[in-house]
Amino acid sequence: MSDVLRVRDLSAGYQPELAILKGVDLAVSEGEFVVLLGPNGAGKSTLVKTVAGLVPVHGGSIQLRGEEISDLPAHLRLRHGLAFVPQTENIFARMTIRENLQLAAQILPKPARAERIAAMMETFPDLARRPGTRAGSLSGGQRQMLAVARALIIDPEVLILDEPSAGLSPLMVSEVFDRLRDINARGTTILLVEQNVRAGLEIASRGVVLVEGRVAHDAPSDALTNDPIVADLYLGGHQKEAQA
């Protein structure tokens, strides 16, 4: 399997002298579903934001299909096929569902836009039922679906999501996760940041555990789920909570 995304010895942070990521190595293969786990403050969001071009890189490399992208601004990374769904402010609340999709489609050549919007409406029937509804009036789960639809409009090489389950009820989380599972089954490579260890390892085939800005574990989900040392040391509270 070829790597879609490859991060090597990546250091990055919000200020020049303060590295939050301290030499991260991570590869995501074509068609894979990888979950990024770790305690609060480990640097999960910082890692995906750095990959998306939103946090300054101090050193190391980020490659998309073998091409170095760490020098590119965020909008050009998007053009290269890297779609990122931030944790918040990922839709335009005052605009309708259709307008949100139309805006996201602006990046595509004009003739391709209508077809991609129609494809998203087909993938997300819940959104297709009410294209004129203002995004701000949708439920939390539907908003996340719209954010994912906006990201998918370019038919990306890789879809990166920063905790789309944050603040959602368990029912909504399972709806969003079911949809992500479908999207992955149709061939989209996914890298997901998730706080809930059990839910993350259930949906992804591989887990990467970040601790203090470094990769502490990188293993198939089954192995991480059953590794008591990993559960106690790094996933501790979350794992116990999830099993309670």
Ligand X SMILES: Nc1ncnc2c1ncn2[C@@H]1O[C@H](COP(=O)(O)OP(=O)(O)OP(=O)(O)O)[C@@H](O)[C@H]1O
**Could you tell me the smallest distance in angstroms from the CB atom of residue 12 to ligand X?**
10
What is the contact surface with ligand X in residues (CB under 6 A)? 14, 20, 38, 40-46, 195
Closest CA to 39 of 241, 235, 244: 235
**Could you tell me the smallest distance in angstroms from the CB atom of residue 238 to ligand X?**
10
**Could you tell me the smallest distance in angstroms from the CB atom of residue 201 to ligand X?**
16
* Tally of CB atoms within 10 A around 31: 16
Residue 38 or 120: which CB sits closer to ligand X?
Answer: 38
Residue 43 or 141: which CB sits closer to ligand X?
Answer: 43
**Could you tell me the smallest distance in angstroms from the CB atom of residue 41 to ligand X?**
4
Q: Would you state the torsion angle of the CA atoms of residues 190, 54, 146, 38, taken in this order, to the nearest 10 degrees?
A: 50
Residue 4 or 24: which CB sits closer to ligand X?
Answer: 24
Give the pair of three-digit tokens for residue 129: 């039922």
Q: What is the DSSP string of 105-127?
A: HTTS-HHHHHHHHHHHHHH-HHH
CA gap 190, 206 in Å, rounded: 11
Residue 44 or 150: which CB sits closer to ligand X?
Answer: 44
Closest CA to 180 of 170, 169, 192: 192
**Could you tell me the smallest distance in angstroms from the CB atom of residue 89 to ligand X?**
13
Residue 38 or 207: which CB sits closer to ligand X?
Answer: 38
